[in-house]
């Protein structure tokens, strides 16, 4: 739905790759952003606002960090399954091939991305208490995410300052990792290793926010 109209406008990427082939990884990342939201919304906002989840959390012997992490992992597993199935369907319409290493690294960067975007969703779902504000915030995040991470529009199309800024925020780093590996076969270990402490600290932050909500 996103790629088809843009294919008629942007026929090839800057590197000369047909747009539908170039955009395929980005479309899967976008799909992941959409699919992971509903289970996190249910656990950290909907049930919380109806007073159902906090009672169960208060009674569980598990730490708040483990609760945040486990819910995140479950949502990611569901998202990966949907993404893989959708990827198979999409590849039946375009001519694209993945080597085993390419597919494995793509899946790895997708998982890292889902940990980041999932943590971002959890943060907003824990600090916001009104549905309208959640929907507005998520709409803004989705728009920035779709058009600002290089998923369907290369950051090179943006003005130099803005393009460089868009490549610096954490949500764009996993996709940059994959693009670099896909184009020249090199893994940027500096970026890769920087993502793990970001994810870990973000989980700790969300567990702290969850604990505060329980005390209110």
Rounded Cα distance between 156 and 149, Å, is 11
Quick one: pLDDT band at residue 64, thresholds 50, 70, 90? confident
Quick one: pLDDT band at residue 17, thresholds 50, 70, 90? low
Rounded Cα distance between 168 and 105, Å, is 21
Can you spell out the DSSP letters for 2-52?
-HHHHHHH--B-TTS-BHHHHHHHHHHHHHHHHHTHHHHHIIIIIHHHTTS
Domain count within the chain: 1
pTM of the model: 0.86
Kindly report the average pLDDT of the chain as a whole number: 81
In this structure, what is the dihedral angle of CA atoms 198, 201, 204, 209, given to the nearest 10 degrees? -80
Closest C-alpha to 126, from 134, 135, 136, 115: 134
pLDDT score of 179 more than 60: yes
State the average pLDDT over residues 166-173: 80
Rg of the chain on CA atoms, in Å: 18
Task: Domain of residue 51: give its range.
Answer: 3-12+20-215
Which tokens go with 43? 């656990």
Rounded Cα distance between 4 and 115, Å, is 28
Beta bridge partners of 18: 12
Rounded Cα distance between 100 and 118, Å, is 26
Per-residue model confidence (pLDDT) at position 3: 46
Burial profile 35-46: b = 16 or more Cβ within 10 angstroms, e = fewer: bbbebbbebbbb
State the residue for tokens 């319409």.
Answer: 93
Per residue in 81-133, pLDDT (tens digit) is 999 998 888 777 777 777 888 889 999 999 999 999 999 999 999 998 888 99
State the residue for tokens 């889902």.
Answer: 114
């Amino acid at each position: 739905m996103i790629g088809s109209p843009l294919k008629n406008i942007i026929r090839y990427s800057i590197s000369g790759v047909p747009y539908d082939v170039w955009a395929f990884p980005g479309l899967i990342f976008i799909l992941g952003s959409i699919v992971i939201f509903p289970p996190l919304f249910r656990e950290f906002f909907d049930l919380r606002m109806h007073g159902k989840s906090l009672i169960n959390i208060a009674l569980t012997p598990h730490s708040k960090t483990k609760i945040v992490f486990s819910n995140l992992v479950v949502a990611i597993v569901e998202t990966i399954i949907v993404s893989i199935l959708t990827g198979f369907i999409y590849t039946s319409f375009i001519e694209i091939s993945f080597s085993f290493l390419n597919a494995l690294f793509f899946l790895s960067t997708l998982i890292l991305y889902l940990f980041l975007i999932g943590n971002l969703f959890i943060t907003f779902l824990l600090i916001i208490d009104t549905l309208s504000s959640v929907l507005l915030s998520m709409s803004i995040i989705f728009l920035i995410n779709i058009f600002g991470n290089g998923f369907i529009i290369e950051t090179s199309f943006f003005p130099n300052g803005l393009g460089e800024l868009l490549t610096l925020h954490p949500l764009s780093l996993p996709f940059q990792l994959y693009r670099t590996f896909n184009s020249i076969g090199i893994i940027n270990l500096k970026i890769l290793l920087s993502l793990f402490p970001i994810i870990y600290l973000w989980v700790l932050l969300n567990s702290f926010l969850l604990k505060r909500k329980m005390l209110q």
